[in-house]
Structure 1
Amino acid sequence: MPTVHYITGDDTVHSVDAHEGDTLMHVAVRNGIPGIEGECGGEMSCATCHVYIEGEWRERILAPSNDENDLLEMVDDLRPESRLGCQIKVNASLDGLQARVP
């Protein structure tokens, strides 16, 4: 079972187990990670699952779609490492992934 490390604004690391095939958003909501709301339920319409993918992990996930990029343009704190957690599916190759919560 892959582990995901969510880093919140106060630099607290929340390490949680994820099921393969779940999205980062669903894993965060299920585990009560502060700052990840997932208001739209993963339908890519709200950006309340915005995260920053740390370092080397950005190269291990698929590039964002045009629709994801369009929605990300609406967030206040957009960075090159910005992603929507609802668009990243967890798999074994992402064991140890670090996602910073804005």
Structure 2
Amino acid sequence: MGRVTLVRFFKSSGDLDREIEAVPGTNLLDLAQASGQALEGSCEGSMACSTCHVIVAAEDFGRLPPASEEEEDLLDLAAHANRRSRLACQLAVPDGAPFSVTIPPSAYNLDR
């Protein structure tokens, strides 16, 4: 399979929900939805909403490129946002050590 990164999805309670192996560069929203996470992504990754908001683990936040101004503006509208909030549609799974995100308590998926 080649190189993979272990991606950990945590519930808002802090409990581990799922661990998924992903090829670095995989879009985080696509991975989350394929693994049954409750992220709606209603704009289908066009960065027109904040329904794919996740909170990146403190130890992993610095591994990501900075958010664009447009992403920052959308995160201002997201419930339960904090300084480690990002939009999953704008994140590629990084290479290397395990990568962890928490699904905020306000996340939901209309298809679930």
Q: TM-score, normalised by structure 1?
A: 0.89
Question: Structure 2 stretches of 5 or more lacking a match?
Answer: 105-112
Residue 54, structure 1, aligned to residue 96, structure 2? no
Residue 96, structure 1, aligned to residue 98, structure 2? yes
Runs of 4+ in 1 over 4 A off after TM superposition: none
Matched residues in 2 for 1:62 and 1:56: separation? Answer: 14
Aligned residues: 100
Q: Is the 8 A contact 2:42 2:49 kept in 1?
A: yes
Secondary structure of 1:60's match?
A: coil
Question: Structure 1 stretches of 5 or more lacking a match?
Answer: none
Which structure's CA Rg is the greater one? 2
Matches within 5 A, 1:9-24: 9-13=12-16, 14-24=18-28
Q: TM-score, normalised by structure 2?
A: 0.82
Q: Which has the higher helix share?
A: 1
Structure 1 vs Structure 2 CA RMSD: 1.3
Q: Is the 8 A contact 2:64 2:94 kept in 1?
A: no
Q: Percent identity?
A: 30
